[in-house]
Amino acid sequence: MLHSVWNEFLEYFKKNSGETPVVFDLLRLTELENLTETEIGVLCSDNGAKFYLERKRDDVEKIISSYFKKKLTVKIVVKQKQRKKETPLLSFQPTQEDVFARAGLYPKYRFENFAVSQTNNVAFAAAQAVSQNPGRSYNPLFLYGGVGVGKTHLAQSVARLMLEKGRDKKVLFCPGDRFTNELIESIQDKSTIRFRKKYRYLDMFIVDDIQFIAGKQTVQEEFFHTFNSMVAAGSQVILTSDRHPSSIKNLEDRLRSRFSGGLIVDIQPPDFELRTAILLIKAKEKNIEIDMEAAKIISEQIADSRALEGTLLSIYAKTLGLKERIDIEAVELFFQDSSEKKNKKITPQDVIRATCSLYNVRSSHIKSPSRSNNVALPRQIIMYILRKELKINLEQIAHMLKRKDHTTVMHGCEKISNMMIKNQSFKTEVDRIINSLASST
């Protein structure tokens, strides 16, 4: 109704407006909001149109009153633009891999590729029981053993299965030193409430290398309350360590008691048969063909299960393009070359050279007073490698790099260690330097 009335008026205005074509053009873009006995409301598109029409108000009111045959006051209002409902162009749905990554899990760890033998069958059975009935079967599940026995693999396999059953589950895999570092940062930033919210409301909490919290009173206090909150809520806690809770020095008795309240499982180092099975699984995952007898020779030579994969890849790299599969000859040749290289020793100069090469820094700058980040970071990496890999004492490293004293070296090593924990890409860079040193000897 108002629309048709306004259109009729505009036709009248066009014929009787005289010398006001601009006013007509603006009015043609307006709408009639309301019409009463004394007032007419006009909606215009923007403030510029309103400003101009206000200046011509007398002319507009005169012709409007003439058309409607009564005195009308014109009220000019800017039309409010309706906000469009914001809908995302794309609705992001995280992939299963994204869910695993957010929980701190590695895709390669799952029950299907975990080799089982007499050394780990109890731990395997316990982990599967927990995965089927989290928070009820064994809580906490405490897995302990030496390096490379499969503690992390089993713990993450349980978490993976929980997330496969429900993506909405809150699962977190956390190294013990990260828990410590984040707590310290939250205290410094006065954000302990956010820290507790992150950890205390999980459905499953896995702490790898729990022994790292020992001796740290505040950290143990916080973990004690986190542990109690989770268990009371029926959430699953899985802990791994390199030793039995009773053997962890400076661990509070109340934590030792809580850890012993669940199931504690010892995982022994893999025997020959298990190492061979692990090697064959790794080869299959990486599409590497290897003879059974060749796999047995590698398993006899390499006791550390983590080193098995590295040895497999090294042999494969040497045979790539020469043979279709790894056979006995390729393995024996590899170990023969490795034996000869053992007699060569890595020197501090080798470390400096390799690090400077990666970061494109001159060796002379490493020993200079410069504190710029492009020099300071490689220098601290060198300190870390000299200390951790070559086992050189702090005073000697300080002397080699012309630093003031051993505390500078200590600070540099701690900084690199923390950066490697928090930043996987940075850790990869440091590992690349270490591996290049090992392969060059």
List the binding residues for ATP.
148, 150-152
By the 8 A CB rule, do 231 and 140 touch? yes
**Closest Cα to residue 422, out of 189, 210, 179, 212?**
179
Q: Using DSSP, state whether 208 is helix, strand or coil.
A: strand
Give the type of residue at 101.
A
CA of residue 339 relative to chain centroid, distance: 39
What letter does residue 372 receive in the DSSP assignment? -
- Residues making up the annotated binding site are 148, 150-152
d(CA 235, CA 136): 9
Give the type of residue at 27.
L
d(CA 317, CA 439): 12
Give the type of residue at 142.
F
Retrieve residue 105's tokens: 């899990």
d(CA 12, CA 17): 8
Q: Using DSSP, state whether 75 is helix, strand or coil.
A: strand
| Three-state helix/strand/coil letters over 317-355 | HHHCCCCCCECHHHHHHHHHHHHHHCCCCCCHHHHHHHH
Which residue has 């890409």 as its token pair?
A: 425
Which residue has 């390799």 as its token pair?
A: 354
By the 8 A CB rule, do 140 and 260 touch? no
**Closest Cα to residue 376, out of 349, 423, 406, 408?**
408
By the 8 A CB rule, do 181 and 189 touch? no
